[in-house]
Amino acid sequence: MKFLSFSLTDAGLKRKNNEDALIDMPGTGLFAVADGMGGEQYGEVASETAVTAVKEHVKQNRAVMDAYSMSDSQDNRNQVLNMLADALRAANTKVHREAEKMKLGGKMGTTLTVLLAVENTGFMVHAGDSRLYLIRGSEISQLSTDHTVANDYKKQYGESGEPFDERFNGILTKAIGIQEYVEPEKLTFTIAPNDRFLLCSDGLYNALGGVPETVLSMLCSRDHEIENEDGFLSGAASRLLDVTYENGAKDNVTILLVSSFSLDEEEVTGTKELIRKYDAVRKIELFKNLDYKELLTVMERTEIRTYNRFDVISRIETDDKELFIILEGKVSSLKGSKHIKTFREGDHIGEVAFLTEEKPQFNLFVDRPSTFLVIKRSVFSKLVLDNPALGVKLLWQLATVLARQTNSSIGLIKDE
């Protein structure tokens, strides 16, 4: 995968200094935005110190990225993500120490959102309220989480009809340099050809007031050849800056646009097929309430597996029980020679063994070559622990689907 990018940063109309900093290294696949805070020129010191630390750490650990390029094993993928998380932690340590030298402990810091692209895999680490967006097809999805008091409140208690006190909107619950240690938000995901990414400081999205339809259409536009993509990126970034000025440009604004492309036909075909499966998964009942970032998190922890006709899934012995979700194909449930039920695309099977570890009471025969999304019990349990909000969504939806299946089964029994 290859990457094109365009970036700009501007002080805006109200601020004397520009406390934002960025990394724009398409050759390395490294991109970042940092929004410094602390007043005077301290925010500038914090943001510049942070991005410099990230660049140095990634450069020193280039071998980890090279290993993943040669072998995209899960272990190598974890090594890259952990390396990038360590880069953010190193940035935190350097900013924190710099603040202590200047006797500004707890008063100088920065947000930091980092995207590292290696082959067709994206790695994100993040702290604060700068943002990373994925622009795929006609959709724009925020991949980073705003680490603010207001957003944490909404995550814990849900949306409220009462307006949240605006004084808390800009108060960060996580940032670089404020405390001696920070644990970054982390995410890995597959990058497809023609994906675009927008990294930005809050000076952009606050001025936009969300993502207006005109901006959405512009960022998703494909009305040009790939040879002109660099011109598109620069034009789009300039237009975004114009919009912030039209809306007052009250804060520093940093815009970094990245575009992916590939000339390898096999890579293009493979990633397009994977994205098609993502779209299929989004329609499944179990995942219908997940946003795109949550779906990416689930997909990164699952396995896509194909079985042939006449394979008996229920007889496959594994130490770790598995839940099967049919992406394509057809499976029949039989007890002895009696046909009980047919499962099709979107249905999931094996949930009793998955939840209780009891042996299934029925045989599950594959009627035709079928593709499944497979979730291991141990992986699901870790997902629930690592991301309780996502875990609650999945468990609640799974309980809902099982309840409907129970009602359906009772109806069949009564009919008989």
The percent of residues above 90 in pLDDT, for the chain, comes to 47
Give, rounded to a whole angstrom, the gap between the first and last alpha carbons of the chain. 57
Buried b / exposed e over 336-362, threshold 16 CB at 10 Å, is eeeeebebeebbbbbbbbbbeeeebeb
Using a cut of 0.75, tell me whether the model's pTM lies above it: yes
Helix axes 292-300, 265-282, angle to 10 degrees: 110
Secondary structure (DSSP) of 386-404: H-HHHHHHHHHHHHHHHHH
Mean per-residue pLDDT of the chain? 86
| All CATH 3.60.40.10 domain ranges in the chain, comma separated | 2-263
- What residues contact 248, with CB distance under 8 A and at least 6 apart? 13, 14, 207
Quick one: pLDDT at residue 407?
64
Question: Considering only CA atoms, which of 212, 226, 258, 360 is closest in space to residue 28?
Answer: 258
Secondary structure (DSSP) of 81-110: HHHHHHHHHHHHHHHHHHHHHTT-TTT-EE
Quick one: pLDDT at residue 413?
47
Query: What is the residue whose two structure tokens read 């035709």?
Result: 368
Quick one: pLDDT at residue 387?
83
Name the strand (E) or helix (H) holding 142: strand 139-142
| Chain centre to alpha carbon of residue 25 | 21
- What is the 8-class DSSP label of residue 321? -
Does the domain formed by 270-415 have CATH 2.60.120.10? yes
The tens-digit pLDDT sequence of the chain (416 residues) is 899 999 999 999 998 899 999 999 999 999 999 999 976 678 999 999 999 999 999 999 999 999 999 998 989 999 999 999 999 999 999 999 999 988 886 789 999 999 999 998 999 999 999 999 999 988 899 999 999 988 877 776 666 556 666 666 678 999 999 999 999 999 999 898 889 999 999 999 999 876 667 788 889 998 888 889 999 999 999 999 999 999 999 999 999 999 998 777 777 777 667 777 777 777 777 787 888 888 888 888 888 889 999 888 876 666 788 888 888 899 998 887 788 889 888 888 877 777 777 776 778 889 999 988 888 888 888 888 888 888 888 888 888 877 876 666 555 445 55
Q: Which two tokens stand for residue 393?
A: 């969504």
| All CATH 2.60.120.10 domain ranges in the chain, comma separated | 270-415
- Cα–Cα distance for residue pair 359/275, rounded to 1 Å: 34
Question: Considering only CA atoms, which of 40, 35, 65, 53 is closest in space to residue 144?
Answer: 35
- Cα–Cα distance for residue pair 412/416, rounded to 1 Å: 6
Give burial (CB, 10 Å; 0-12/13-18/19+) of 74. exposed
CA atoms within 13 A on the CB side of 95: 38
Quick one: pLDDT at residue 412?
46
Domain 2-263 belongs to what topology? Phosphatase 2c; domain 1 (3.60.40)
pLDDT tens figures, 141-177:
999 999 998 887 777 666 655 666 666 667 899 999 9
pLDDT tens figures, 317-339:
667 888 888 888 999 988 877 88
With contact defined as beta carbons under 8 Å apart, do 258 and 191 qualify? no
| Residue 340 to residues 31, 102, 313, 335, 388, Cα–Cα distance (Å) | 54, 73, 15, 7, 35
Pairing state between β 2-10 and 139-142 = unpaired
Q: How many CB atoms within 10 Å of residue 274? A: 14
Q: How many CB atoms within 10 Å of residue 201? A: 30
